[in-house]
Copies of this chain bind each other. A is one copy, B any other.
């Protein structure tokens, strides 16, 4: 079965996020001063062939640890959706 899996990768809290800071300043500059804080990360959507939701999640976890995420600077969360 094919599962659609979402991975959100964000800079760890407490670390500098220069991209987020730049976006924040840009938004304030064009008048959106209600925006108080911005962090920018990655959103990855994968289709994974697996026999169960758990298996799909563990494959995604593996992909995060080996390729997608730098654990020194980033945290991640995984959501498995209904089969794609």
Contact = CB atoms under 8 A, between A and B. Distances in A.
B41 A45 contact: yes
Contacts of A43: 8-10, 40-43
Contacts of A27: 63, 66-67
A46 interface: yes
Interface residues on A, range: 20 to 34
A15 to B, nearest CB: 14
A68 B34 contact: no
B34 A59 contact: yes
A66 B68 CA distance: 29
B48 A10 contact: no
B34 A67 contact: no
